[in-house]
A and B are shown apart, each in its own frame.
Chain A
Amino acid sequence: MYKSKWIVAALLAPGLLVVALTTTYPLLAALYFSFHNYKLTRPVEWAIQLGGDSLVTFNSSALTLDNYIEAFTDDRFINSVVVTAEFTFISVGLSVVIGLAIALLLQKDNLWSRMTKTILILPFAISPALKGYSWRFMLNENFGIFDLLIDVFVAGPINALISIWNALPFGDVPLMSTTIVWLGDSFWALVMLAFSETWGWAPLIALMFIGALGSIDSHIFESARIDGANSWQIFTRVTLPILRPVILVIVMLKTIFSLKMFDQVVTMTGGGPVRATQTINFYVHQVGFVRGLEIGYASALSYILVFVLTILAAGYVMYLLKPDYSRS
Chain B
Amino acid sequence: MTSTRAAKITTAQQSDSASVRGLIGKWLSRVFESGALFLVVVFVLLPIVWLALTSLKPMEVAYSTDIFFQPTFDNFRIIFSDASVVVNEGTNLERSVIGLNMWPSTLNSIIISSATVLIAIPLATMAAYAFSRFRFFGSRALLVWILTTQFLPAIIVAIPFYTLFQGIKLFGEPLLGSRAGLVIVNMAVVLPYAIWMIKGFIDSLPMEVEEAGYVDGCNDWQVLAYVAFPLIRPGIIVASVFAFIMSWNEFLFAYILGRDTRTMQVALTTTSGVNGIMWEQMAAAGMVVMLPIILMSLTIRKNFVNGLTMGAVK
| B3-45 interface with A by 8 A CB criterion | 33, 36-37, 40-41, 43-45
- Mask, A43-69, CB within 8 Å of B = 1, is 000011001110110000000000000
Which of B126, B162, B176, B259 contacts A12, CB < 8 Å? Answer: B126
Are B192's CB and A145's CB within 8 A?
no
> Which of chain A's residues have a CB closer than 8 A to the CB of B44?
116, 119-120, 122-123, 199, 203
- Cβ A105 vs Cβ B33 within 8 A: yes
Assuming the A-B contacts A134-B51, A302-B153, are A25 and B163 also in contact, with contact meaning beta carbons closer than 8 angstroms in the complex?
Answer: no
For the complex formed, measure the closest distance between the CB of A145 and the CB atoms of chain B, giving whole angstroms. Answer: 5
B254 nearest in chain A by CB position: A129
Cα distance A126–B126 in the bound complex, in angstroms: 30
Q: Are A263 and B251 within 8 A (Cβ)?
A: yes
Taking a contact as CB atoms closer than 8 A, the residue among A7, A15, A53 that contacts B220 in the complex is: A7
Within 8 Å CB of A21, what residues of B? 187
A127 touches B249 (CB 8 A): yes
8 Å CB interface, A253-286 against B: 253, 256, 259-260, 262-263, 266-267, 281, 284-285
Question: Which of the 9-residue segments A162-170, A234-242, A312-320 touches chain B?
Answer: A312-320
Q: Are B309 and A208 in contact (CB under 8 A)?
A: yes
Number of A-B contacts (CB under 8 A): 291
A26 contacts chain B at the CB level, 8 A cutoff:
yes
**Structural contact, B184 and A22, CB atoms closer than 8 A:** yes
Which residues on A sit within 8 Å (CB–CB) of B93? none
Q: In whole Å, how far is A139's beta carbon from the nearest beta carbon of chain B?
A: 11
Number of contacting residues on B, CB 8 A? Answer: 101
Contacts of A216 in B (CB 8 A): none
A1-44 CB contacts (< 8 Å) to partner B? 1-4, 7-8, 10-12, 14-16, 18-19, 21-27, 29-30, 33, 40
Determine whether B235 belongs to the interface, using a CB cutoff of 8 Å to chain A: no
From residue A183, how far is it (CB to closest CB) to chain B in Å?
Answer: 12
Is A189 among interface residues, defined by CB-CB distance under 8 A? no
Whether a CB of chain B sits under 8 angstroms from the CB of A77 is: no
When distances are taken between beta carbons in the complex, the residues of chain B under 8 Å from A144 are: 65
Stretch at the interface among A85-93, A173-181, A217-225, A303-311: A303-311
Given that A18-B123, A122-B294, A215-B314 are known contacts, is A207 also in contact with B305, CB under 8 Å in the complex? yes
User: A92 to chain B: closest CB distance in Å?
Assistant: 15
Bound Cα distance from A136 to B282, whole angstroms: 11
Residues on B lying within 8 angstroms of A by beta carbon are: 33, 36-37, 40-41, 43-48, 50-51, 54, 63-65, 123-124, 126-127, 129-131, 133-134, 136, 140, 142, 144, 146-149, 151-164, 166-167, 169, 174, 176-177, 184-185, 187-188, 191-192, 195, 207, 210-211, 214, 219-220, 223, 245, 248-249, 251-252, 255-256, 259, 265-266, 268-269, 277, 279, 282-283, 286, 289-290, 293-294, 296-298, 301, 304-305, 308-309, 311-314
Can you give 8 A-B contacts (C-beta < 8 A)?
A1-B214, A2-B133, A26-B156, A124-B297, A138-B46, A211-B313, A298-B159, A327-B314
Instruction: Given A119-B44, A306-B152, output 5 extra A-B contacts at Cβ < 8 Å.
Output: A15-B126, A51-B167, A122-B297, A135-B47, A266-B255
